[in-house]
Amino acid sequence: MNTIEALGTFTGETLGKTLLGHFRSRVEHLRLDVTGIENLRELAGHSYLLVANHTRPKGAILTAFGLAPDAFILERIIHDQTGRQLKIVAKSDKGQWVVRPLQRTFQQPFGHGFKKAMGFIPVRINPGSYNRTFVEAFRREAEAGNPILIFPQGLYWTEDFNEYTEVKDGAAAMALKYHLRIVPSYLQGANSWEAGHEVRLLFGKHFDTAGFTKQDIGALIKRTILDLKKAAE
């Protein structure tokens, strides 16, 4: 671990975990309407890949720090309803080209240390990034039997999930690599932390990925999330 990554780890252990605790406690002040929890209980004792829509939260600061309600809601519901700890894949860089020396020497190592210390599975999404540590961390969680969350859009969308939403290959690739079933989910209204704000959460039927290509799985992920969105309307 280099000095910059160690700084990120320290910041994650202190400031990061304090922020996590604050926002996790705010989930209980949201009005949650949950459907399909039985689809998760059927996978008790097995690792699976949870995929969900990812909507930009209200407020520039929340957006910048990745503090949307969606992952916190999914984490809370899965823990409360199934007794399991959801492992969340979280980007550790900005997902765009930055000055190369800055990216390599500060942004990526700091972000990796920060997100890992907070309990996430950090993934680098800047073009040309090397993700051996992500693959190893993902493998450990899958072999430990933990549920893992990936947002297949990759980044926030300013609009809700729709037929024009691009689904990245990452979720499909990891499901295939580690033979994981996929559970689709859809959150309606998960863009505000305001107390009393109503959020609908739907879990769909899990499906196997054996025999499919990444493109087939990506299309199926998209279709099942859109089906859940339609059911929520």
Q: What is the mean pLDDT of residues 74-81?
A: 96
Q: What is the mean pLDDT of residues 175-203?
A: 95
Q: What is the mean pLDDT of residues 3-9?
A: 79
Average pLDDT score over the chain: 86
61 vs 212, which has greater pLDDT? 212
The predicted-structure confidence for 223-232, as pLDDT tens digits, reads as follows 999 999 999 9
Measured CA distances, 67 to 100, 140, 223 (Å): 26, 25, 26
Nearest CA-CA partner of 70 in 86, 83, 57, 84: 57
Instruction: Compute and round to an integer the Cα radius of gyration of the chain.
Output: 17
Q: Where are the beta strands (DSSP E) in the chain?
A: 31-35, 48-52, 87-91, 121-123, 148-150, 181-188, 198-203
Provide the edge-to-edge strand list for the sheet that holds 198-203. Answer: 31-35, 198-203, 181-188, 48-52, 148-150, 87-91, 121-123
Residue written as tokens 């039985």?
38
Residue 131 has pLDDT above 80, yes or no: no
